[in-house]
Amino acid sequence: MAGEELLVQVEREALKTKEPAVTANLSFAGKYAVLTTGNRRLGISSKLNKEQKAHYKELLHEFDTESYGLIIRTNATSVADETLIAEIQSLEMEWSQMRENACHKTCYSVLKKARPTYLEDVKNQRESSVSEIITDDRGLFETICTDYGIHPKQFMTNGSVPVPVDQFQVPTISGTADSLTLTYYHDPMLTLSSLYSVKSSLEKALREQIWLKSGASIVLQHTEALTVIDVNSGKNIIKKEMRENLLRINLEAAKEIAYQLRLRNISGIIIIDFINLLAKEDEAVLLKEFRTYLKDDPVKTDLIDMTKLGLVEVTRKKIRKSLRDSLKMN
């Protein structure tokens, strides 16, 4: 109705020529579950098996899903049920408090600001294969310390002068076994960027052409509408075993492409021109393996199909700016 006040949430930041997008379907994301006000049902990750889905349906039947919905994430299986329930109760409280606060605010008021992306990244890395995060930004280090309730002064000497290397263990979430070390690096003789060759690594991550171990290559090109990826065999084809070689190169390329999508944070529509295969059954093998590689992506990524022209269509959800666009801004 005209004049009605609504609670809205930014669901997509401004990107290139596109304005930010907002929605009245709010979502409150935790590590293991998401509370939603739009889709008011219990949803469970499609990556979980039948037994796991049945378990969570039974476990969470007591929650009132008439006023909100819940989505149980894949990594909920890594923690005790008590941890999951505690997080859901925390999300319930957050939603309730926001509704209460909204009643006392004027139109266009900001009820909650998003946490800095680096704090979210630290939180999300705590159960990944990453064991340590190193920074030479003292302010960033202190902010993360404070976020976890650790006083940064305990990492100072003489009250304010930083010692060469500071470390602390980012606390684990109850019910998990993993931990993450955050390190503050300080060495006037050798910068952190030089120590880890950050500049050359970024240049490599932005190159259009990527060489594979087999001698084949991948070329990535960006347009306003989509990303095009071309797989080139080079001089790597042995005529004697052409069919096997074509499949092997395409499988190698598929694995690298899945990695590059994550590394460069490429999103939207992605069209991949693999090398033409000689048998339909090889195409099925390629698509099956490619789907397996894409499943490792924490961002929703779907392999749609292979067209009649042999082009593979992939979509990847837009969460943030790509690495390329982020570096352009900086």
**DSSP classification of residue 298:** S
Q: Are 304 and 286 in contact (CB under 8 A)?
A: no
**Separation CA 157–CA 160 (nearest Å):** 6
Residue 294 tokens read as: 């894409």
180/147 Cα distance (integer angstroms):
14
Q: Which residue has the higher pLDDT, 293 or 65?
A: 293
Distance in angstroms (rounded) separating the CA atoms of residues 72 and 70? 6
Q: What is the mean pLDDT of residues 303-313?
A: 95
Q: 3-class SS at 29?
A: strand
Side chain identity at 209, as an amino acid letter? Q
- Cβ neighbours of residue 253 closer than 8 Å, sequence gap 6 or more: 212, 216, 218, 231, 274, 275
* Burial of 47 from C-beta contacts in 10 A (0-12 / 13-18 / 19+): exposed
Q: Amino acid letter at 58?
A: E
Note the pLDDT of residue 171.
46
Segment 5-60, tens digit of pLDDT: 889 988 877 776 778 888 989 999 888 999 999 888 899 988 899 999 999 999 98
Q: How far apart are CA 37 and CA 26, in angstroms?
A: 5
Bridge partners of residue 312, in order along the sequence: 272, 306
Mean pLDDT on 150-161: 47
118 falls in which pLDDT band (50, 70, 90)?
Answer: confident
Is the CB of residue 28 less than 8 Å from the CB of residue 20?
no
